[in-house]
Structure 1
Amino acid sequence: MNVNPEPLPGGSALARDYIHHYEKVGHLYGGDFRNVDSRTERAAWLDSTEELRADRAGIAECLRQYNLELNPHPAVMESLALLEQQGTLVVTGGQQSGLFTGPLFVIYKAITTIQAAKEAAAQLGRPVVPLFWIAGEDHDWDEVNHTYVLNRTGEITRLKLDKADELRSSVSAIKVEEESWLQITGQLDDLLQESEFKPQIMEVIRDSSAEGYSMSEAFAKLIGSLFGRFGLILLDSADPGLRKLEAPMFKSLIEHNDELESAYHTAAGRITDSGYELQAAVTAGGANLFYIHQGARLLLHKEEGRFTDRKGMVSFSREELLEQLETHPERFSNNVLTRPLMQDYVLPVLATVLGQGEIAYWAIPQPAFEVVGERMPLIIPRMSFTVVEGTLHKHMDKYQLVFGDVLQGLDEKRKKWLAAQDELELERRFEDTKAAFTAMYEPLIEQLGSIQAGLLKLGANNKDKILDQITFLQAKAQDAMAKQNEAALRQWERIELSLMPLGKLQERVYNVMYYLNRYGPGWLDELMSIPVDYSGTHRVIYI
C-alpha cells in the first residue's frame, strides 16, 4: 500500500486558510491542534474548569449503558473507565448516522479521532480517549437513508431505505421495520461480489439490523464492530439518558439566548468582514434550539418575547420554556450552532475532528462559548483519502493518467486518446473531404444562379444535404472506432466511476462495505497504520 499526497482545488476559503494559513484566521478559532502548546493550554483550562461541566461519573455511566447494548467491546469499557476518572480528556469526531455507515469519509473521521486521541495521550502524558458523537437528533432522513456501492459489474448503485413515518422526527426516533432491513440488506448482498470475506461482512450487517433497530442504532452497531477494539466510545446525541444530564446547559442556552444570538451575529460579521462566506445561516430572532412536539422536531425562534416555531404549533414564554425543560428535558434538542456548546459541556473536549465544511461553520459559535462560560476546543482537520485499487492503477498507468487528471475530468483526455487510435486519420480525412467538396461545389452553385435564380437556393439545399450525409457517415465511422475500442473505454469509465463517482470525491459517495468485502477486515488495520496527517492534505492510497 503506497500513499501519496494530492492537492485538492475548491472547498471553503475559510477552511483552506485554517488548514494552510492559520495565522490569517486564528482570531476566529480557539487554537491550533497541531501546535503542542495549544494542546497543553487547552488541557490546563479543562483541568481548572472541571466543575463547570456535566457530572463526569453520570456521563460515563450513561455512555456505558448505551455502549453495552451497541458497542460492548472490552476496549470501549476500558475507555469509559478512564473517562470516569478526573483528568481524562476526550477527542471527539461525529456525524449523522448513515445507511451501512454512510460514505467513506465517516470511516476516515473515526480513524482520525482514534489516532489523534492516541497521539495526544502520548504527548500530554495523560489519558485521552476517542469518542464518536452520532448526531441522532437530526431529522433530515433523506440525507442519511441512502448509500452507494460499486456492484458486481463495476457500476455505481444507489441503495435507499424507506420509512413509513412522515413526521420530521429525529433519525434516532424513527424505527425501521425489520422487513425493510431485510429488504435493504438483501439488496446489498446481491450487489456485492462473492468473496471469502462476504459471509462475515453480511453477518455483521444483518446483526446490526436484525432487531428492527433505528438507523442510529444500526449505525452504532456497525461502527462499533469496526472500531470498538480501538476503544472508540459512541454517543447518540438523541439518547434520552443524556437529556437530564444536559438540562443545565439547555437552561443556560435559554436564559442567555439573546446574548448567544448576539454572539452568533458578531461572529458572522467578523467572518464576512474578513472576506469569507458564512457556511451556516445566522437568522435574526433565531433561538438555535429545537423542541420536540408530538414527535416532530420544531426549530424555535423568538417572536414578540416568546419562543415559537414558524407554523405556530407551539409558543412559550421564557419561563414556560424553562418549566418544560424541568419536567420534559427529552423534548429539547440542539442545532448546528448550539451542539458544539453542548458537546463541550458534556465532555472534557481537548479537540474535535471536523471536515472542511464543518471547520468553516464552527467559526460562528466561537464567541458563543464565552457566553456560557466555555472555551472553543481545538479543531483537527479530518484525514482525507481516495483508494486506487491495483487493477485500476494499472489502467491509469496504461493510459498515462494521474489522479489530477481524474479530478479535473477525463472527457478531454479520453477524446484525445480515442483520436490517437485512429490510424486511418478518419477525422482529418472526413474534414478535408467536406472542405474540398464545399470548395468545389459553391462556385458551381453561384454559376447556376446566373442561369436561373431558383437554382441558387436549390443548389445550397443540395450542398447542405450532401454535407449532412458525409457527417452522418463520419459519425458512424466514429461509432465503429469506439466499438473497436470498447474494452479500453470501459476501463476509462471504470477509472472515473471508482475515483470520481457522480463528479464527487470517492470518499463522499461510496460505502466502506465494498472494500471490506473485497479486501477483508484486515484492510481497516492497513488504514489505521497509515501515518497520521492533520494538515488537511488529501492522500491517494494505491493498493
Structure 2
Amino acid sequence: MADCLPFRSTGFFSDLISDYIEEKQNLKPFYNRFPSVENFKGQIEEKSKSYTQDHRQALVDVLRHQYKDLPTSEATEQNVEALLEHSTFTVTTGHQLNLFTGPLYFLYKIVSTINLARQLKERYPDSSFVPVYWMASEDHDFEEINFFNFKHKIFQWEKEAEGAVGHLSTSGLEELAKSIEKEFGKSENAEYLKGLFKVAYLEHETLASATQFLANALFGDYGLVILDADDARLKSKFSRHIKNDLVYHTAFRQTEKQANKLEDLGYSVQVNPREINLFYMHEGVRERIVKQDEDYYVLETELRFSEQEILDLVDKHPERFSPNVVMRPLYQEVILPNLAYIGGGGELAYWLELKSLFEAEHISFPMLMLRNSVLLYSDKTSRKLQKLDTPIQDLFLSPEALEARQTRKNSSIEIDFESQKQHLEKQFEDLYELAKKTDQSFHGAVAAQEKKQKNGLDHLEKRLLKAQKRKLKDENERVLELQRLLFPNGSLQERTLNFSEIYVDYGDQLISELLDQLDPFQFEFLCLELTIYTTKP
C-alpha cells in the first residue's frame, strides 16, 4: 500500500530542489543531464572516454584491501572485480559515519542506489552497474554523528574527538551497548540489532571500519560496494586537482561564479567556497590550509610551507590533503567510473554550484538524482486514519491547517461562507453600476463598504471555525496525535528516526519492502504502509 505526492506539496523541500525535479528551464545550465533512464546512454558514453584503466586498477586494489578482513557476499565480490572491466560503471551515494547509521534516510539513500543499478542493468544489458556507498570518513563534525534516536530516547556517544571521524577509536562504546541491551527488548529482531551493534562497535577498532561492517551487514547481499576514499593510492590520482586548488584556486573561482548565478535567480546558496578548499590531515589533525602572502599555513598548528614545499608534499603524501565539501564531489568523480550521484535535497543544492568547476578541471559531471523519501506507517495507523476519514497526505499540512481541514470536514454546520461572499459581491456589482452615474467620491464609499463587509464575513467565518474546533476538539486531537507520531518534532520522520525503531517490528521485511517499493526515477514523496507478516508473503 503506497501513496505518492509531489515533493513541493510536502512543504519540506526547497524551491531549488522542487524546480530541479520539475525540470525548470532556468536551472538547465547548472547540470549536465537530467536523470532520466534514457539520458544515461549519453552519460555512459561520456564517462567511458575519460576514465582510464589505470584508475580502475587503483580503485580495485584499494577495495580488495579494504574488504580483505570483511565477510563479503558473492554479489559484492563480483561487483568489485567487475570494476576492472571497461563496461562497468558506478552509481554512488555518500553519507556521514553516523552512529548506528543515524537517521532513517541512510537506508533510503542506499536502497535508491541499489535500485538504480538494477534498473540501469535492465535498460543497458551490455554494461554493468555497481552501487557504491562512499563513507564520509574524512569529516570532522563529530557532534553531528555521535548519536541516534530510538523511541524518544537519544543514545549518545560521549567522547572527546578531533580530526577525521573515520580514524576515531571505538573504545568507550561498551556502556552505550549496555544501554541498548536494556532498551531494545528481547524479541528476535531486537536480539539481532543488539548483536549487530556489539560486533560493529566493540569488535572494530575505528569508526570507519565499524561503519563499513554495519553497512555491509545490512546491504552486502545486494551487491553494495562500500568505499573509504581516505587512501594514498586514490588521492595520488587526484593530485593534479589538489595542486590546482592550492595554486590557482580553481574551485573558489568557479564555484563562486555559479553560486552568484543561483543567487541572482532567487535561490539560497548551500555552500560558499573558500580560496583553498582543502584540509591538512595527519596524526589526528584535520585543519584548514590557508595562504598568506607567498606561504601556506595549517590553521591551529605551527606548520608552514612554501609553494614548492607544499606541491612536493602533494606528490609525496597525497593522503595528507583532505577535500572539503566543495572538492569532495570532484574527488569522487575523478576516482570512480561514476554516472550519477544520489543525494538529499541539501546535497544536490551544493552539487548544482559545481558544474563549471568540473568543466574547468575537465572531469565529467555526473547526473544528480534526488534520493527517495518515504513516510513509513503501520497498518494499525492506516486503520485509524481510515476511521477518521483522513488521507495520509493531509498529515503533511501544518497542525493548524490540518485541524481546520478536519473541523470543516466533520462539522455539522457549514463553515464555508463562500456563498454569502458571492451574494455580497453581486449586491455590490449593482452599487458599482449606480456609482458610475454619480461622482468618484460615491464610488470610493462603495469600495470602502464592500471591503468592510467582506472583512466582517471573514471574521465571522473564523469565529465559527474556532467555535467548531472547540466542539470537535477530541476528534481533531486524534488526528493531530497521529501527525505528531509520524512527524516527530514537526519534521520528516526520515530525518529523526533510526532504522532500528522500525526494524524491531518488521525485521528483514523492512529492507526488502523498501527495495520492492522505491523507484529512483519516481520523483515523488512516497507514503508506504507496512504490514507485519508472521511469514513472508
Letter in 2 for 1:326: D
The residue aligned with 1:28 is 30
Aligned to 1:87: 87
The one-letter code sitting in structure 2 at the alignment partner of 1:160 is: Q
- Note if 1:351 corresponds to 2:333: no
TM-score (norm 2): 0.80
Work out the CA distance in 1 between the residues paired with 2:404 and 2:184.
Answer: 32
Provide the residue aligned with 1:67 in structure 2: 67
* 1:391 alignment counterpart: 380
Provide the residue aligned with 1:263 in structure 2. Answer: 254
> Structure 1 residue aligned with 2:10, among 8, 11, 27?
8
Where 2:36 maps in the other structure, the secondary structure is coil
Give the structure 1 partner of residue 142 of structure 2: 141
Q: Give the corresponding residue for 2:304.
A: 315
Match of 1:501 in 2: 488
Q: 2:498 maps to what in 1?
A: 511
TM-score by length of 1: 0.80
Within 2, Cα distance between the matches of 1:157 and 1:419?
36
What corresponds to 2:465 in structure 1?
none
The letter of the residue matching 2:250 is E
Deviations 1:199-241 (A, max 9, x none): 2232222211222433332222111111111111001233455
Q: Does 1:190 align with 2:186?
A: no
Corresponding position of 2:271? 280
Shift of 1:66: 1.1
Q: Which amino acid aligns with 1:157?
A: K
Question: 2:477, 2:206 → 1: CA distance?
Answer: 39
The partner residue of 1:200 within 180, 188, 192 is 192
- Report how far residue 16 of structure 1 moved: 1.4
Aligned counterpart for 1:297 among listed residues 258, 267, 286: 286
In the TM superposition, what is the alpha-carbon distance from 1:157 to its structure 2 partner?
1.4
Corresponding residue to 1:521 among 508, 511, 527: 508
Deviation of the 1:17 alpha carbon: 1.1
Question: How far apart are residue 516 of structure 1 and its match?
Answer: 1.4
Say which SS state the counterpart of residue 34 (structure 1) adopts.
Answer: coil
Partners of 1:353 and 1:380 within 8 A in 2 = yes
Q: Give the 3 Å change call, closer, same or farther, for CA 239–205 of structure 1 in structure 2.
A: farther
Paired residue for 2:371, among 382, 385, 403?
382
For residues 497 and 67 of structure 1, what CA distance do their matches in structure 2 show? 42
User: 2:96 maps to which residue?
Assistant: 96
* Aligned residues of 1:14 and 1:276 also touching (Cα < 8 A): yes
| Identity among equivalent pairs (%) | 24
Cross-structure match for 1:45: 46
Instruction: Find the counterpart in structure 2 of residue 120 from structure 1.
Output: 120
**In structure 1, C-alpha distance between the alignment counterparts of 2:394 and 2:173, rounded to whole Å:** 39
User: C-alpha separation between the residues in 2 aligned to 1:63 and 1:532?
Assistant: 28
The residue aligned with 2:214 is 222
The change in CA–CA distance for 1:100 and 1:497 in structure 2 (over 3 A counts) is farther
Whole-angstrom distance in 2 between the partners of 1:347 and 1:420: 54
**Post-superposition offset of 1:314:** 3.0
Shift of 1:526: 1.2
Aligned residue in 2 for 1:232:
224
Gaps of 5+ in 2: 412-471, 531-537
Give the secondary-structure state (helix, strand or coil) at the position aligned to 1:31: coil
Check conservation: 1:59, 1:245, Cα contact below 8 A.
no
The answer (yes or no) to whether the contact 2:406–2:476 under 8 Å persists in 1 is no
Which runs of structure 2 are paired with 1:411-422 in the superposition (5 Å)?
none
Letter in 2 for 1:537: E
1:441-473, CA deviations, whole angstroms, 9 ceiling, x for partnerless residues? xxxxxxxxxxxxxxxxxxxxxxxxxxxxxxxxx
The structure with the largest alpha-carbon Rg is 1
Give the alignment's Cα RMSD to 1 decimal.
2.9
Q: Secondary structure at the match of 2:277?
A: strand
